[in-house]
Each structure stands twice: as C-alpha cells, then as structure tokens.
Amino acid sequence: MAPTASRPRPSSWRAALAVILGAILWAAAPAAALAAPAVPAGSPAMAARVKGEFLHAWTNYRRWAWGHDELRPLSRTPRDWYGQSLMMTPVDALDTLVLMGLDRQADADRELIARRLDFDKDIYVKTFEVTIRLMGGLLSGYELTGDKRLLAKARDLGARLLPAFDSPTGLPYAYVDLRTGATRGAATNPAETGTLILEFGSLSKLTGDPVYYAKAKRALAETFARRSKIGLVGLGLDVETGAWTDPDSSIGGGDDSYYEYLWKCWRLFGDPDCLAMWRATIPAVNRYLADDIAGRLWYGHADMTSGRRAATQYGALDAFFPGLLALSGDLDRAGRLQDSSLRMWNLHGIEPEAIDYKAMRIVSPGYELRPEIVESTFYLSHFTGDPKYQAMGRTLFDDFVKYDRTRYGYAALKSVVTKEKRDAMESFVFAETFKYFYLLFDPSALDFDAVTFNTEAHPLRRAWAHP
C-alpha cells in the first residue's frame, strides 16, 4: 500500500470544539468505567512462587551482569544497549523489588543507581525507550522510597531529553544525544510520539517545572491531530513534515501505547483534553480494527484512511488491549478479547510474537518474555474479581517457567514451536512480567486506585497532590 500524506492540522477552533465534545461525551460514559471494582482474594502460595522465580533471575543478574543494562542468561555475559551502561535492569527492577518487600535487595539496587548512574554520555539514545524505562523507573522509585537522589536523576534525564521535541512539528525525534542534545531519526510512529506524557508530566508535577508536561502534551496532541477523517492513526510518521509514511493502523506495536496514554493521561492528571482525545479515538478503533471471527473477538489491521481490513494479525503486543479496555470501563469487550489472547497462547503452550487469527497460524514465532497478556489478566482480575483470571494466570506462569527458565535466569524463545531459547533477558521481565504476575496473586501489595502504571509497568501516583 502506498503511503498517504497527512491531512492538514485542524485549526484552533476545531481543536477546541473537539475538546468540548469529548467532555460532553464523558458525561455519558458507561457506568462500568466508574464502578468500584471487586477485589480478588489473591493466592499467597502463587505470589511466593513468583517472588522466588523473580529472585532466581535477579540473583543471576547480580552475579553475572551487575551494573550493566542486561544479562544474557545463556552465555552469562552482560549486554549494554549503547556500549555504555544506563542501568536499564537496575532501574526497571527497583519498584518491583520494593513492592515484593525485598528490602535488602532494593536498598542495594537503589544505592547502585544513586551512586553510579550517569547520563552525561555522548551517546544517542532512543527517546521512547529511555523515557518509559529509565525516567518511569526513577520516578516510581522516588515515589515509593522518597529517595530524592532518584528524582534528581530523573530531572537530569528529562532535561537531556528535551531537545528531542525541537522538531518543526513538536513531535519528538527518535534519538537524542544525552550530552550534546543533537537529534536524529525523523521516522517514528504514534507509540513513540504519544507515549511520553505520564513520565514527563509526572516530572513537571514533582519538580514544579511545567516545560516537561507542555512538551509531551503537545507531542500527544500533534499525533492525535493527524488522525484520518475516520479517526485512525497509521504506523509510520515523519516528525519534520508531519506526514504519514505508513497508513497501516492497528492496536499492535507502533500504535499500542499511544492509545494507552490517552486514557492514562486522563486517569493520572485529570486532563480533559486527553479525555476528549480518547473519547474521539476509541469508537474508531472498535469500529475498524475489531474483527469478529467465528464468534471470537480479535483486533486486526486496517488502512487508516479507508478502514479496509489490511491484515488479520494479532500478537503478544496487542494482548495489552483487554487490560486497557477493562481500565476504561468496557469489561465485556475486554473479557472477550482476553479469551482470544489465551487461545493464541494455548496454540503452542506460550504466545508467539504474532499470529494470523483467521487461519490460526503463526506469523512470527518468537517469544520475548513479554508481559502484555499477564497485564490484561491482572486488570481483569482486579475489575471483575472472577477467579478464572487467577486460574488463567497460573496457566500462564506455569508455561512461562516451563519454557523460559534457565539455570541463570529467564531466556526469550526463538520459536514457541521448537521452544529453542535465545540469549536475551530484557529488563522489562523485571519491570513488567514478574510484577504483573506478582500483583495478580497478591493484589494487596499495591493500592491500585492510587496509581497509574506507565507502559513499562512503573506505578505513578499523584504524589504532588499528597505530600
């Protein structure tokens, strides 16, 4: 399919009208979105088992890769993303250590971060990844521990990332040099331009400097402003021209967390503009991307301009969407889609990166230790109290341990069919996968209503409102 040019930005009066209409629509929001959720009972034995497996991975990271970004769990060697460590795993893991009550390990990790994490490096980093992993982890770590050194590091990082927003459109460049502020990478996508406001916004609220919120909100709004006439966004976007370079629309990678942050911006900050953007977006997503096949609900791909079905593909990253639907009040649709996600998982005892749901065949066979299906199980368990979701979680965890555990940690799979392992253990397994498993079985570990999880599962609260 040929790329389509972006449509002109709406005029200010049209943007204002969209906000007003969104606020009106919110007044008619479904009652389920506002109802108090049931509280699941939890499973202490399963929570203890999850904690034990987390410690297996964490202890091996400490032994073989302490202070580095990641451990390669097959070769027992460290890996740094940019040739120099930014401590991805220590920062990503900190709040999970705290929530699990692993105080000794959390204190050692916090000291490592406070003393050795240094952002004064002449390296280009991915704006999106460094924001969700490092800024998100530092901010949640600060809110959970009160250690002001973590907030200072988050502020230092935020200031170094600000030049990424200096494009003609206000959409952030994909890469920024942490020392010089030089930028590169005009090719991006809605997830990378629209998944910054929780972290930058929290930084503004905690430091009193409004520039971070303003920059990230503009990027989110500029992404929204470029939606098609039928309300969809595409996959490829140029930050300098504002033009779409790929019209493919889905809830999967490249689009996923853009939708997530529209709702979560409203949830965390109470920003009515974010609410209006969400209310203007979700009907189009449900109309053009949802797909009913033989009575099962899936979400596929469509052309952003015409709405025509482009592919019947769904995968591990898409599996976050039942959780977002549940969080925003659509429990019926969330439950149906979660059942489809479980069917994908059960094809080979663990989920592949992507399937063709119409043919029920694998399109991409790898498994990267992804958390999204666990995340959705956690949300649905929280909001429904239905014990089937804890039972589902046990199945997921049993399979996760069976196929991914190694002597020195947890390893990704090259193929869910052959179960051949790959020498990789990304930091998000500590930040997200183990955390969501643990909270599923011990929901008392965190006050759900007091926090909003960023897309890396770092819990952010309105700490600025409750000194």
User: Is the pLDDT confidence value at 154 over 80?
Assistant: yes
Q: Is residue 465 part of a domain?
A: no
Q: pLDDT class for 465, splitting at 50, 70, 90?
A: low
pLDDT confidence of residue 464: 67
The more confident residue out of 40 and 163 is 163
pLDDT confidence of residue 38: 52
**Residue among 80, 129, 156, 246 flagged as catalytic:** 129
The amino acid occupying position 135 is: M
Average pLDDT over residues 280-292: 98
Domain stops at, among 296, 322, 346:
296
Q: Is residue 306 part of a domain?
A: no
DSSP letters for 231-273 = S---SEEETTT--EEE-EE-SSTTTHHHHHHHHHHHHHH--HH
The verdict on 271 and 351 lying in the same domain is no
Is-contact 70 423, C-beta < 8 A?
no
Is-contact 146 195, C-beta < 8 A?
no
pLDDT confidence of residue 21: 40
User: Is the pLDDT confidence value at 391 over 90?
Assistant: yes
Q: Is residue 397 part of a domain?
A: yes
User: Is the pLDDT confidence value at 102 over 90?
Assistant: yes
Q: pLDDT class for 19, splitting at 50, 70, 90?
A: very low
Per the structure, the count of domains in the chain is 2
The verdict on 339 and 281 lying in the same domain is no
256 as an active site residue: the answer is yes
Average pLDDT over residues 302-317: 98
pLDDT confidence of residue 177: 98
The verdict on 185 and 326 lying in the same domain is no
Taking Cα atoms as reference points, which of 286, 294, 352, 349 lies closest to residue 319?
352
The helix/strand/coil state of 105 is helix
Average pLDDT over residues 244-266: 98
Burial annotation 369-403 (CB, 10 A radius, 16+ → b, else e): bbbbbbbbbbbbbbbbeeeebbebbbebbebbeeb
The verdict on 287 and 325 lying in the same domain is no
273 as an active site residue: the answer is no
Average pLDDT over residues 395-409: 98
Average pLDDT over residues 406-435: 98
Give the pLDDT confidence of 333-367 residue by residue, as tens digits: 999 999 999 999 999 999 999 999 999 999 999 99
Q: Is residue 49 part of a domain?
A: yes
The verdict on 267 and 392 lying in the same domain is no
The CATH number of residue 432's host domain is 1.50.10.10
129 as an active site residue: the answer is yes
Q: Is residue 463 part of a domain?
A: no
Average pLDDT over residues 181-191: 98
Q: pLDDT class for 14, splitting at 50, 70, 90?
A: very low
C-alpha–C-alpha distance, residues 164 and 41, integer Å? 45
C-alpha–C-alpha distance, residues 246 and 387, integer Å? 42
Q: Is residue 271 part of a domain?
A: yes
**Dihedral of CA 368/294/393/318: which sign?**
positive
pTM of the model: 0.91
Q: Given its phi and psi angles, is residue 435 left (phi above 0), alpha (psi -120 to 50 degrees) or beta?
A: alpha
Round the average pLDDT of the chain to a whole number and report it: 92
pLDDT confidence of residue 41: 60
The verdict on 276 and 363 lying in the same domain is no
pLDDT confidence of residue 463: 73
Domain stops at, among 245, 263, 296:
296
pLDDT confidence of residue 71: 98
User: Is the pLDDT confidence value at 9 over 50?
Assistant: no
**pLDDT exceeding 70 applies to what percent of the chain?**
90
Could you tell me which residues are beta bridge partners of residue 296?
293
**Residue among 70, 248, 273, 353 flagged as catalytic:** 353
**Residue among 143, 199, 256, 351 flagged as catalytic:** 256
Q: Exposed, middle or buried by CB within 10 Å (0-12, 13-18, 19+), for 20?
A: exposed
Taking Cα atoms as reference points, which of 203, 129, 209, 137 lies closest to residue 164?
129
User: Is the pLDDT confidence value at 33 over 70?
Assistant: no
Q: pLDDT class for 375, splitting at 50, 70, 90?
A: very high
Q: Is residue 5 part of a domain?
A: no
pLDDT confidence of residue 40: 60
Q: Domain span at residue 414?
A: 29-86+312-457
Q: Is residue 129 part of a domain?
A: yes
Domain stops at, among 232, 267, 296:
296
The verdict on 60 and 139 lying in the same domain is no
Rounded to 5 degrees, what angle do the CA atoms 443, 147, 327 make? Answer: 30
The encoded tokens of residue 432 equal 């997200």
The verdict on 316 and 375 lying in the same domain is yes
**Residue among 69, 372, 375, 442 flagged as catalytic:** 372
pLDDT confidence of residue 467: 39
The verdict on 63 and 136 lying in the same domain is no
For tokens 């470029």, what's the residue? 226
For tokens 């990267």, what's the residue? 368
Taking Cα atoms as reference points, which of 166, 138, 131 lies closest to residue 152?
138
Is-contact 128 165, C-beta < 8 A?
no
The verdict on 329 and 373 lying in the same domain is yes
The verdict on 130 and 60 lying in the same domain is no
The verdict on 54 and 186 lying in the same domain is no
The encoded tokens of residue 198 equal 């929780």
User: Is the pLDDT confidence value at 131 over 70?
Assistant: yes
* Strand pairing class (77-79; 124-126): unpaired
**pLDDT exceeding 90 applies to what percent of the chain?**
90
Is-contact 436 428, C-beta < 8 A?
no
Taking Cα atoms as reference points, which of 198, 331, 192, 189 lies closest to residue 264?
198
